[in-house]
Each structure stands twice: as structure tokens, then as C-alpha cells.
Amino acid sequence: MSSRALDDKAQKLQLAELPPEFQDQEESIKITGFWLFIVTDVLIFASLFATYAVFVNRIASGPTPAQVFQLNTALIETLILLTSSFTIGIAIWAMRQNRQRMVLAWLALTAALGMAFVSIELVEFAGDVAVGWGWHTSAFLSSFFLLVAAHGTHVTMGIIWAVALLFQLRKRGLTTVTRRKLYTFSLYWHFLDIMWVFIFTVVYLGGRLI
Amino acid sequence: MPALPSFVPYLIHTLFPPWVRRPTEIGAEVMMVAGGAFIVYWLLKYKKLQWLWNEWLTTVDHKKIGIMYLVAAIIMLARGGLDALMLRTNLALPTAHFIGASEYNEVFTTHGTIMVFFMGMPLIFALFNVVVPLQIGSRDVAFPRLNAISFWLFAFAAALFNLSFVVGGSPNAGWTAYPPLTELAFNHTVGENYYFISLLMTGIGTTITGINFLVTILRMRAPGMTLMKMPLFTWATLNTSALILFAFPPFTIALLESLLDRLAATSFFTLSHGGMPMMYVNLFWLFGHPEVYILVLPAFGVFSEVVATFSRKKLFGYPSMVLSMTAIMVLAYGTWVHHFFTMGAGPAVNVFFGLSTMLIAIPTGVKVFNWILTMWGGRVQFTTPMLYFLAMIPTFVIGGATGVMLGAVPADYQFHNSYFVIAHFHEVLIGGTVFGLLAGVYYWWPKMFGYKLNDRQGKWAFWLFAGGFWPTFIPQYWLGLEGMTRRMYTYPLGMGWHTLNVISTIGGFIMGAGFLVLAANVLYSRRHQEKDLTGDAWDGRTLEWSIPSPAPEYNFAVIPTVDERDWWWQEKERRRQGEKPVVVKPEEIRPIAIPKNTPVPILLGAAFFMGAFGLVFSWWDIALAGLVAVFSILIYSWFQYDHYRILSAGEVRESEELLGRLGA
């Protein structure tokens, strides 16, 4: 019995070394679960990338990749999303310093940058569709729109999530539960950022090189 | 909005087109309405609605969710089995026209889809849910509410899929749903929409279940239980969950892209606009091959428990069992092209996948030898689960050997799409998966309900089911070699296929009789079997047998420390040698947090169902309403913080006292 009590004490000391969002056993299990969710989402994107790679030259009577992509907008989108990854990073840093107002401000900024990103993407899509390059036109355009729109939909979900989080943080402050929620949100957001880096490289840059 | 008079005929025409107004469909409709009415009448008469809602529909308890999966799986087994008998009846005699050609297409499609996704999958989840938390000494799964959401997504998806039979029309492109058979230009009915949408729905639930059990097993084991001390069924669950995690995403994308082709005019797998049907086939089998291991690994897990328990010996070669199972899990991803060698990917690609296919036979062979050596020198008890195990050995070995034959590329060009393939995969899926899961159901039935299924009747069901199995499927190997291709709805006289087909059909009906005896066994045992008060009905070896049957809602009053394999057996062994038993001490009982019941999962399932139904018929307003409902429920649930109720130490003590579990 005494050895078990010692174990408990050692475990508590060890836990105190961890960042706050991992200290509670139950919340830490939820973070593990969220990592596994990200694994499935990586595979979703992997399948979409595979489809795109197979279909990129199957343009039928539609436009070629070089005709469709505008590097300027894609570069602006990239910069916006990379900045938002930085801002959510600061929000997490502020959370670990227990500075709630700072967390709220940086989280709100992250969501705003996300909205700017989605808006630019929608304008880009609307431009393509306006000149008759819809996803019906060719297998290439189908796979392009699905891949990029899947990412855009993920960002939109992230924005809804961030807004819901803002309300919860304002109401409840930085508790064990809200810390974990904020932390999983940041994981999700960084993941979307990495996916976008791949899209920018493979789709937009690759499309201009071919 | 059209005026009412023209609206009504439109609805009738869309929902009930001529091809769902044939006698079988109308018969099914009458049965469904009558059955539904009877259930409602029964619930109202005995005032059971409140009980049903509180105890079952809103529960998040893994044991109850497991039982609901089991009930759903048995109902779906009946439906899929009826489909199979319709197919066999049509094929019994040459030029028979029991059902027509187009109806035959629908029936073999629903047979395959239901058996894989709505019978096999829920049956393995039933066992996961009931057994795994108890085997690892946990109070529940990692995410109890998500677990309930998985179940309700599956249940509503199954309802949607079955609805297609009587409303709008069944899918008819086979369980693999290859384009261009599913392309809108060639397939106008809403049947394939039902297929893609309901599988997307149940796929989401399945993926969540995979995550849930991975986290449960990795993070919530009892203290002392390292990975290499876990029971084999838990190992099987871990491997299966990993397979699910990696296999379902490509499938989701394959389904989504096909659905977009049909509903939103994209050009992924179309014949025009640069689309490529073979891409679907690749994505589908990238999932489809791991899927067969998703179905069979849990059965391997069950056999490992059953053979050790009923041989009264520890499992032979535990580390090699774990290693071989993990090897199968990894190799499962490297074989998908063997489903379409005839695509013409070239000799180098085909040889690679042929070799990887044959490689899987090695770890599988290791497992078979280990099971046999477990029995060696043991005191074997021939209970019903053990009979299923013994029947599995020859069927699985023959099914596996013909699988290696199919993996030989040049020979596969002959076997491809013939009845040889049908015989092969039924032999491994029934001989491996179904025998295994039935063994598991018989084995863990006392843990679920507190009494054993009657063994005598269970053996009758076994002999009919396993006895019917051989005449059903063995002749199909010869039919395949004689040139009978799969999915043909009839054949002319004089092909020489007559006799073997008659034998196969007779075998099928014997299996059907076996199912009826099994159902009777369940109903009889509910009333007449004596209660098992020990909680250890089979003199078991693992942790789940150390607690009462059925387990109390908190499972373990005090989580035990498990520092060896077969901990419960070793504990009993120590008691036999006169050591003091480890019992629950009243002073060690602490308050326990129990997850609260919640209506969120079932409402979420219903919202998905509404949106999905709208999508099937391209009724965008209903689909949108479903989407809004899904998001409203999710956001409501995000703002919920109070998920637990506390069971006080006194209440737990009282409950343990009643179960006679408190030591002095």
C-alpha cells in the first residue's frame, strides 16, 4: 500500500512538469484521441492528393493547370495562413502564462485571418467558375476543386470552432477543460496549415512548373 | 412550391416507382409496417417507452451499446441471409425465374453490402464494446459519448440502407459499386445514392470507433498490464482499430467522389471528361483488402481466448501470436491490387502483389499451428464455442489455400470473377469471421446477460450451420472451374452446372435452418437457463471473468493491479494453493464518476438520417435542414460541460454487498 502511495506521489511530481493541458489524466487522453483523429484526416488528404496526382493531366477539353492557377493569390493565402499559425501559437503561449485576455485576443485574430483566407479562396473559385471552368469540365478540375475545397471546408469548421471557443473561454475562463479545448484547436489549426503548405507546393507551384 | 394535387403523384412516383411495387417489395413493406406497429403497440401496452428511452436509447454504457450492436447485427444477419436464400433459389435449377434479372442484381448487392457493413462490422463492435473495457480493467471506453454516436450513425445508416428496398429502389451495382455501373448516365434509380450515403454515414461511425478503442487500449489499461500482458482479444481489437484508422479514409474519399459524380456532376470516375473508373477500384480496394482483415482479426482474437479457456491451458506461443497478428495487420496494406490483376498493371506490379498476398499465409499459418498446439495435452471441453473453433480450422485452411491459388497471377486470370472466388471468400468470411464471432457470442453471452445459452440447442444450431456450410460452398469451387461466373442470375440447361447448384442451394437452406435454431436457442435460453451467480461461467482466464455477470455499471469497484498474463487464472491457481484471495476491501472503494445518459447521440443520428434522405432524392432543402440540425446538435453538445454523475462510495459498497463481492 505504501509503495502505491509513493508511486502516486512520484506520478504527481512528474505530471507537474508537463504543460497544464496534459496534467489532467482525462483531458490528456482526449488529446491522444485528437491526434488519432488527425491521423485519419491526414489520410483523407492523402487520398485526395493521390486522386489529384492521377488526374492532373486528364484535362479533357478543359484548361491546363498553368492556365487555372494564379500564384499571386495563392501566395497571399499562404502568407495569411502561416501568420494565423503564428497567432494561434502565441495564444497557446499566453494560455500557459494564464493570461486570459491575451488568449482571447490572439484566438480572435486567428479566426479573423482564417476568414480572410476562406474569402480569398471563394473569390478565386468564383472567378474560375465564371469563365466556365467548373468541376464538371474535367477530371483535373474535379480533383483540384475537391482537394482545395476540402481544405477550405476544414478551415471554415475551424472558424466556427474558434468562435464557439471564444464564447466558452469568456464564460468559463482558463479551466482544465477549456485549456484542453484550446490546445486541440491549435493542433487542428497547425495541421490545416501544414496541409496548405502541401497544397501550395504540389498544386499551385507544381502546376506552374508542369 | 407545386400545388398539392400535382405534388402527391410526384411523391408517389419518386418514392414508389414501379420497381419497388413487385410482390417481394410489397411483402417486405407489409412486414415492416406490421412489425413496427407491433413494437409500438407492445411498448405502449406495457408502458415501456420511458424505460426504452432511459435505459437503452440514451445510454452511453459500453456494455449496453455492445448489446444494441448485437441485436442490430442479428437482425441484419436475418435480412442478408434471406437475400442469400433468394439468390440460391434462383440458381437452384437452370433457367429458373424465381426473381428477375434486375431484381437479382439488387439482391446480390444488398446481400454483400449488408453482410459486410451492417452484419459483420456491428458484430465485431458488439464484442469490442462488451469485452475490451472489462478485459483491460477499465470503467468504460475512452469516449463514451462518441461511442454512442458511432452506434447511432451505424443504426440510422443501416435503416437508410434497408429503406432502399421499399422506397425508391435498391442499389444494384454489387457490393463493390464499381463505376461505370454506378454512373448516373447508366444507372438512373436512386439506389446507388442510398449505397454511397449510408456507407459514408456508417463509415464515419466506424472511424470514430477505431479511434475510440485505440485510445482506450493504449491509455486506459489497469495498472501493471503492459502491452505484452494483454489478452489476445484485446490485441486483436488494437490491431483491428489500427486497420480501421488507416483503411476507412481512402474509402470515404472513394464514396464521396462517386457520390459527387452522381449528385453534383463532377468527372472523377465518369467515362467522359477525362474521368477514370480504375481510380475508384484502386481506392476501394485500398480499403477493401484491409477490411477483410478488419473482419477476421477479431475472430482470431476470439479463437485465442476460446481455445485457451476450453483446453484449460495457457495459449501456446503468446509472443508469436502477437507478432503474427501485427504482421498480418501491416501486410494487409500491401495486397490490394490482387483484386484486379486483370486490370493489366503489368507483370512487375502483379508479381509484387502476388508475392505479398502469398506472404500473408505465413503469419496466418503460425496462428493455426499455435491454436492446435494449445489443445495439445490439454483437457479439451467440447462446448459450442469450441465446436465453432474446431470447425474453423479445416474451413479456414482450405479457404486460405485457395486464396494463395488466387494470388498466383497467371492462374488468377482464369479464376477471376468466377464462382471460385465466391467460394474462396465465403469460406474465409463464414469459416473464419462468422464462426469466430458466433463462438464469441456464445462465449461472452453469460458476461452480457448473466446466463449461458443452452448448450444442447447451441450444438444443434452449430451442426446445421457448419454442416450446411460445406455443401453450400465447396461445390462452388468446381462451378467456378467449370466456367460459371459470379453475379449471373440464371444459366441454360446443358452447361453441366445443374447438380452442383442443387447441392449448393440445399446446403444454403440447411444453414438457414441453423440460423432459425440459433434464434430459437436465444429465445429459449432467456426463459429457461439458470442464472450464473459466479460471474465466471466457463472457469475463464482473463480479467472480465473476475467480476459479476452481467457487470455492474461501474465494472470494477476497485481497479485491480494486473501484473501477469491470464491474471484471473493465476489468481484462482493461487487460491487453490491456499493463498489469501485478492478481494474488494470496503475501505478501498472510492466514489466513481459515471458518464451521464444523453440524447445527443440518437438525435445526431436522426439528423444525419434526415439530411441523408434528402441527399438520396436530391431534395436540397431537406438535406440542408439535416445539415443545420447536425450542426445545431454539435454546437449544443460543445457547450455542455457536465457529463458525469458521481456514484458515492456508499452506493458502490451497497451494490457490491448485494452482488456478494465484499471480502471481510
Identify whether residues B54 and B39 lie together within a single domain.
Answer: no
Distances (CA, A) of B473 to B300, B424, B427, B430, B504: 22, 8, 7, 10, 6
Q: Which residues neighbour A160 within 8 Å (Cβ) at sequence distance 6 or greater?
A: B631, B635
CA distance A150 to chain B (A): 11
Inter-chain residue contact B274 with A55, CB threshold 8 Å = yes
In a domain, B283, yes or no: yes
- Cα distance between residue B505 and residue B503, in whole Å: 5
In a domain, A98, yes or no: yes
Query: Whats the size of chain B, residue-wise?
Result: 664
CA distance A63 to chain B (A): 12
Q: Which residues neighbour B162 within 8 Å (Cβ) at sequence distance 6 or greater?
A: B79, B114
User: Does A11 have pLDDT greater than 80?
Assistant: no
Q: Does B215 touch chain A (CB under 8 A)?
A: yes
Identify whether residues B359 and B468 lie together within a single domain.
Answer: yes
In a domain, B611, yes or no: no
The stretches of chain A forming alpha helices (DSSP H) are: 2-16, 20-23, 25-55, 65-68, 71-96, 100-130, 139-172, 176-198, 206-209
Among the listed residues A75, A55, A46, the one whose alpha carbon sits nearest the alpha carbon of residue A145: A55
Q: Does B408 touch chain A (CB under 8 A)?
A: no
Q: Which residues neighbour B630 within 8 Å (Cβ) at sequence distance 6 or greater?
A: B604, B607, B608, B611
In a domain, A180, yes or no: yes
- The whole-number pLDDT of residue A10 equals 64
Identify whether residues B435 and B566 lie together within a single domain.
Answer: yes
Inter-chain residue contact B257 with A146, CB threshold 8 Å = yes
Q: Measured in whole angstroms, how far is the alpha carbon of residue B39 from the centre of its chain?
A: 25
Identify whether residues B566 and B453 lie together within a single domain.
Answer: yes
In a domain, A85, yes or no: yes
Strands (E), B538-600: 592-595
- Cα distance between residue B249 and residue B262, in whole Å: 20
The helix-helix angle for B101-113 and B62-92 (nearest 10°) equals 150
Q: Does B315 touch chain A (CB under 8 A)?
A: no
Residue of B212, B253, B267 with shortest CB distance to A138: B267
Residue of B215, B248, B274 with shortest CB distance to A140: B274
Residue of A39, A54, A139 with shortest CB distance to B267: A139
Provide, as residue numbers in chain A, all residues whose Cβ is less than 8 Å from the Cβ of B180. Answer: none
Half-sphere exposure of B502 (CA within 13 A, CB side): 5
Structural domain count of chain B: 2
Residue of B211, B267, B639 with shortest CB distance to A33: B211
Substitution target from A27, A43, A52 for chain B, most B beta carbons within 10 A: A43
In a domain, B112, yes or no: yes
Phi, psi dihedral angles at B152 (to 5 degrees): -70, -30
Residue of B nearest to A39 (CA): B245
- Cα distance between residue B192 and residue B168, in whole Å: 10
- The whole-number pLDDT of residue A2 equals 45
- Cα distance between residue B378 and residue B496, in whole Å: 48
User: Taking the alpha carbons of A48, A51, A57, A61 in that order, is the dihedral positive or negative?
Assistant: negative
User: Does A1 have pLDDT greater than 50?
Assistant: no
Inter-chain residue contact A47 with B252, CB threshold 8 Å = yes
**Contact predicate B299/B432, CB 8 Å:** yes
The CATH number of whichever domain residue B413 belongs to comes to 1.20.210.10
Query: What digits encode the pLDDT tens for the residues B319-351?
Result: 999 999 999 999 999 999 999 999 888 899 999
User: Does A210 have pLDDT greater than 60?
Assistant: no
- Cα distance between residue B371 and residue B263, in whole Å: 50
Q: Is B530 helix (H, G, I), strand (E, B) or coil?
A: coil
Query: pLDDT band at A207, cuts 50/70/90?
Result: confident
Among the listed residues A158, A154, A133, the one whose alpha carbon sits nearest the alpha carbon of residue A144: A133
Inter-chain residue contact B268 with A164, CB threshold 8 Å = no
CA distance B184 to chain A (A): 13
Domain of A145?
37-209
The CATH number of whichever domain residue A137 belongs to comes to 1.20.120.80
Selected residue with higher pLDDT from B268 and A70: B268
Name residues of chain B where pLDDT drops below 70. Answer: 1-4, 663-664
Identify whether residues B320 and B277 lie together within a single domain.
Answer: yes
Identify whether residues B376 and B273 lie together within a single domain.
Answer: yes
- Cα distance between residue B76 and residue B511, in whole Å: 16
Residue of A nearest to B224 (CA): A4
- Cα distance between residue B283 and residue B351, in whole Å: 20
- Cα distance between residue A163 and residue A160, in whole Å: 5
Identify whether residues B25 and B158 lie together within a single domain.
Answer: no
Segment holding B285, helix H or strand E: helix B277-311
- Cα distance between residue A144 and residue A56, in whole Å: 8
Domain of B286?
48-598+643-658
In a domain, B619, yes or no: no
Q: Does B288 touch chain A (CB under 8 A)?
A: no
In a domain, B374, yes or no: yes
Query: What digits encode the pLDDT tens for the residues A181-203?
Result: 999 999 999 999 999 999 999 99
Identify whether residues B13 and B67 lie together within a single domain.
Answer: no
- The whole-number pLDDT of residue B3 equals 56
| Size of the A and B interface in Cβ pairs below 8 Å | 113
Residue of A nearest to B212 (CA): A33
In a domain, A7, yes or no: no
CA distance B268 to chain A (A): 5
CA distance A115 to chain B (A): 19
Segment holding B526, helix H or strand E: helix B498-528
In a domain, A96, yes or no: yes
Q: Which residues neighbour B507 within 8 Å (Cβ) at sequence distance 6 or greater?
A: B468, B469, B470, B471, B472, B473, B475
Residue of A33, A43, A172 with shortest CB distance to B246: A43
In a domain, B325, yes or no: yes
Provide, as residue numbers in chain A, all residues whose Cβ is less than 8 Å from the Cβ of B215. Answer: 29, 32-33, 36
- Cα distance between residue B243 and residue B277, in whole Å: 25
- Cα distance between residue B311 and residue B298, in whole Å: 20
For chain A, first and last CA: distance in Å?
A: 69
Identify whether residues B124 and B263 lie together within a single domain.
Answer: yes
Q: Does B277 touch chain A (CB under 8 A)?
A: no
Inter-chain residue contact A51 with B265, CB threshold 8 Å = no
Identify whether residues B649 and B567 lie together within a single domain.
Answer: yes
In a domain, A111, yes or no: yes
In a domain, A100, yes or no: yes
Residue of B nearest to A34 (CA): B211
Structural domain count of chain A: 1
- The whole-number pLDDT of residue B641 equals 87
Query: Whats the size of chain A, residue-wise?
Result: 210
- Judge if ipTM > 0.90: yes
What residues 623-652 of chain B have any CB closer than 8 A to a CB of chain A?
631, 635, 638-639, 641
Long-range contacts formed by A83-91: CB under 8 A, 24+ apart: A83/A113, A84/A109, A84/A110, A84/A113, A84/A114, A84/A117, A84/A189, A84/A193, A85/A189, A85/A190, A85/A193, A87/A113, A88/A185, A88/A186, A88/A189, A88/A190, A89/A186, A89/A190, A91/A182, A91/A186
SS3 per-residue string spanning B252-281: HHHHHHHHHHHHCCCCCCCCCCCCCHHHHH
Q: Grid coordinates representing B550? A: 452481467
